[in-house]
Structure 1
Amino acid sequence: MGKENICFFSLWIILGKIFASFSSDLEGTTNITATPLPTTTQWITDYSDIVSKFSLRTVDIPDDDMCYLVPGRPETIKECEFNPETQTFIVIHGWTVTGMFESWVPKLVSALYEREPSANVIVVDWLTRANQHYPTSANYTKVVGRDVAKFVSWLQKELQLPWERIHLLGYSLGAHVAGVAGNLTDHKISRITGLDPAGPTFEHADNQNTLSRDDAQFVDVLHTNTRGSPDRSIGIQKPVGHIDIYPNGGTFQPGCDIQNTLMGIALEGIKGLQNMDQLIKCSHERSIHLFIDSLLNLQQQSMAYRCNSKDAFNKGLCLSCRKNRCNKIGYNINKVRTARSTKMITPRCPSSSLPTWTSAT
């Protein structure tokens, strides 16, 4: 057996273990239907039970937590040099196998600063709760959402920060954290962007426990990994925002097939063996990289089109911008709020400028 065949055989063995582990986690999942924890009128100003951390990342060091904003300690606002006169982005990660921040976090932070140099980019650290069996982490989204709601409300009250300048960006389980937070604040947050919100346990959950169009003045969602039966696909299938965009149909993304991903991992040698989870996350994480692309590539913006079905779209029946039937993807989206969710599909987005898989930090 050649070295290449041995390498691929080893990769398949590891891949089988990863899929088995993920499947075993899903076997115990149940739909989240309980409402958030009971509250009183004073709950939002009680910071004693907050576990999540809030780091203000910098443009010079986007990959490390150098300064924490601590609810109830206004001096940390000055220490971290928070700018109350500009846009504030709050980035919320999802489920993690390693218990560490993934490599997309500093990439998104850097892209946000490149687009909005004077902005505040805050990263929510809920790693200790996100590094559990999936059903446990999924249930933690309620209490983490409470943490974020308390933090946002405290920051806004301390600085009289305009709600219109607050933008939450949540990936996977983090999208539902953002939804819970938006549902609990006493004033609507300006915008929540859901980056392929997690599907298992959330597909049939009520709006109080998932990201929904009621959680902010404007909610936009990118669905990039909806393959599989409802509540079993990695990303949620149902529309949950004012505008829901399904790149390449939303089920599967170019360059994320097993052959391409295995080859990329194999080329990394031993390091590649440590990143087999990218086979599962490739399409899921593509939502982040599409958003990053929208921040950086203003000259070639990706478009999405409203269509009744994927089949009609594939036949070329929906490629028109008449009557607001098209929109930009990601950061540059036209914020149109309608009476019901608007589903949009993109033409086949090229994968040449986007990673098919990324190494973990």
Structure 2
Amino acid sequence: MRSLQLSFLLLSCIIISANTYEGKKKEALRSWSELTRGKKDQQNFETRFRLYTDRAGGNCQIFVNQLETLDKCHFNASLPLVMIVHGWSVDGILESWIWKMAAALKSHPEPMNVIIADWLTLAHQHYPIAVRNTRTTGHEIARFLQWLEESVQFSRSNAHLIGYSLGAHVSGFAGSFINGTKKIGRITGLDPAGPLFEGMSPTDRLSPDDANFVDAIHTFTKQHMGLSVGIKQPVAHFDFYPNGGTFQPGCHILHVYNHIAQLGIAGITQTVKCAHERSVHLFIDSLLHKDKQSTAYWCNDINTFNKGLCLSCKKNRCNTLGYNIREERLPKSRRLFLKTRAHMPFKVYHYQFKIHIINEIQGKPIDPAFTMSLTGTKADAKNLHIPLVESITGNKTYSFLITLDNDIGDIIMIKFKWELPPLWGNIWDTFQTIIPWTKGTRRPGLIVKEIRVKAGETQQKYTFCPQSTDNIHLHPSQEKIFVSCEDLFQTQNRK
């Protein structure tokens, strides 16, 4: 019951209950022709277009059909345009991330115009009304781009719209409403809003048809009461699902109690924003840390990805998350997965491990805890927990994903340990002693024959064998050293 109440409170801070507004759903999604009837000759836009500047004041407003404002704000039609489109507003003010993103864009080596599409008057409404207004704002952005094209010959193909939450769908509508056969250059959807968009047709949400290239980052698709804050379905040419897309490191729902204690009811909103807004900070991270670009990999689902089975970059199966993505139009949306850290820089290094284990111990399958320590040419990684999700049985190869926060270079040695608390270690030794397992003195255990590794970021492959072949059995609390099979072969030949 407590969990259900918490879920209800959680969604209440993000969306107005779907049941409460079910009667308004048709109104929120009614046709564009009805929404714009009588507005064709409207001169006053609800959306304000603020050109971001490094000077005092931070921005300069451009007015449609007023060419002098382009000169006043120093708009350069020969440079690309990146437009930031915010989402639904609870308090009616521009959120701090907007200015952080604008500053990050301006810090990029490539010069550009950065415009903030301020649609607060339409976004600071009940959620279903704000959903309806996304079409109005999309139409105004389309008209703004058309005006730039007609007045100063700015090409729409040089425009990149970055929309967060509802702003992602606003950007999609802008792309679909713009006149002519040519499309906007690029649209990036940052955790596009889910309620009243999930399951809708491509014409009623962000879709790959809205620009020459569309990418999306999904960070909060965890469902509560059948709804999720961010849309789960693919909406782009490349759809990125960091950490599976349902939730993000450092944003665990259990933290909501701490946030409530510190911030009151506003703490729930803060908890929800953490995962939803992570999409924004992942994108900003791609601008600020050019030497630490996060790589994502094409995969069917997060469970397959967690086994390390999708770390291939062949045939464009991987891509870079964020601003520096490789733009490629695809006939079908492609889902890409990756892991991240809980804070900037978010990049981690992905490794697939395949371990061949033979279980000689008779009886039921066992569930041991293993750790590894890696020695690399640049650094070491110690006491890594091995996330096996199945019991050790027979003669089998187990595959899993390991991520590292730092680049350790080429792996040159692995220490593999069967972890067991001291108490259980003593019991195991006693148990092994009193039972006559085999002829002679050798005790059965686990045999780790081979460890194969693939590094996702470099696509490098390694194979490791036991350093010593005299005693190949692994028992609780024991550690074995594995070295490159090639190096081991060369050493044995020298003998």
Please say whether Structure 1 and Structure 2 have the same fold, judged by a TM-score greater than 0.5. Answer: yes
Aligned residues: 335
| Structure 1 pair 278–116 and aligned structure 2 pair: CA distance change class (3 A) | farther
Report the TM-score when normalising by structure 2.
0.63
1:37 partnered with 2:28 = no
2:155 corresponds to: 162
| 1:239-283 CA-partner distances (Å, limit 9, x unpaired) | 0111111111111000001344655786xx66x875541111111
In structure 1, distance between residues paired with 2:225 and 2:298: 22
Q: CA deviation at 1:49?
A: 4.8
| Structure 1 pair 237–258 and aligned structure 2 pair: CA distance change class (3 A) | closer
**Is the helix fraction higher in 1 or 2?**
1
2:164 corresponds to: 171
Whether the 8 Å CA contact 1:218–1:337 is kept in 2: the answer is: yes
Q: CA deviation at 1:296?
A: 1.1
1:120 partnered with 2:113 = yes
CA RMSD in angstroms comes to 2.7
What is the percent sequence identity of the aligned residues? 42
Of the structure 1 ranges 64-73 and 77-86, higher mean CA displacement relative to structure 2 is found in: 64-73
1:220 corresponds to: 215
Bigger-Rg structure (1/2): 2
5+ residue gaps in structure 1?
1-12, 356-361
In structure 2, distance between residues paired with 1:14 and 1:312: 31
Q: Secondary structure of 1:305's match? A: strand
Equivalent AA in structure 1 for residue 324 of structure 2 = N
| Structure 1 pair 332–231 and aligned structure 2 pair: CA distance change class (3 A) | farther
Q: CA deviation at 1:205?
A: 2.0
Report the TM-score when normalising by structure 1.
0.85
In structure 2, distance between residues paired with 1:205 and 1:49: 31
**Is the strand fraction higher in 1 or 2?**
2
| Structure 1 pair 340–21 and aligned structure 2 pair: CA distance change class (3 A) | closer
2:290 corresponds to: 298
| Structure 1 pair 306–328 and aligned structure 2 pair: CA distance change class (3 A) | same
Q: Which has the higher contact order (CA 8 A, sep 6+)?
A: 1
| Structure 1 pair 220–24 and aligned structure 2 pair: CA distance change class (3 A) | closer
Q: CA deviation at 1:103?
A: 1.2
Whether the 8 Å CA contact 1:203–1:230 is kept in 2: the answer is: no
Equivalent AA in structure 2 for residue 301 of structure 1 = Q
Q: Secondary structure of 2:62's match? A: coil
In structure 1, distance between residues paired with 2:313 and 2:294: 13
1:288 partnered with 2:280 = yes
Q: 1:343 aligns with which of 323, 335, 360?
A: 335
Whether the 8 Å CA contact 1:55–1:66 is kept in 2: the answer is: yes
5+ residue gaps in structure 2?
347-495
Q: Secondary structure of 1:108's match? A: helix
2:487 corresponds to: none
| Structure 1 pair 80–282 and aligned structure 2 pair: CA distance change class (3 A) | same
| Structure 1 pair 215–251 and aligned structure 2 pair: CA distance change class (3 A) | same
| 1:304-324 CA-partner distances (Å, limit 9, x unpaired) | 100112211111100111121
Equivalent AA in structure 1 for residue 63 of structure 2 = V
| Structure 1 pair 134–34 and aligned structure 2 pair: CA distance change class (3 A) | same
**Superposed counterparts of 1:1-361, under 5 Å:** 19-20=11-12, 22=14, 24-27=16-19, 28-29=21-22, 30=25, 33-37=29-33, 46-61=41-56, 66-116=59-109, 118-186=111-179, 187-228=182-223, 232-260=227-255, 263=258, 274=266, 276-346=268-338, 348-353=339-344
In structure 2, distance between residues paired with 1:230 and 1:242: 29
Whether the 8 Å CA contact 2:169–2:205 is kept in 1: the answer is: yes
Q: Secondary structure of 1:208's match? A: helix
Q: CA deviation at 1:300?
A: 1.0
In structure 1, distance between residues paired with 2:214 and 2:167: 14
| Structure 1 pair 344–332 and aligned structure 2 pair: CA distance change class (3 A) | same
Whether the 8 Å CA contact 2:259–2:267 is kept in 1: the answer is: no
Equivalent AA in structure 2 for residue 296 of structure 1 = L
Q: CA deviation at 1:108?
A: 0.4
| Structure 1 pair 155–228 and aligned structure 2 pair: CA distance change class (3 A) | same
| Structure 1 pair 58–231 and aligned structure 2 pair: CA distance change class (3 A) | farther
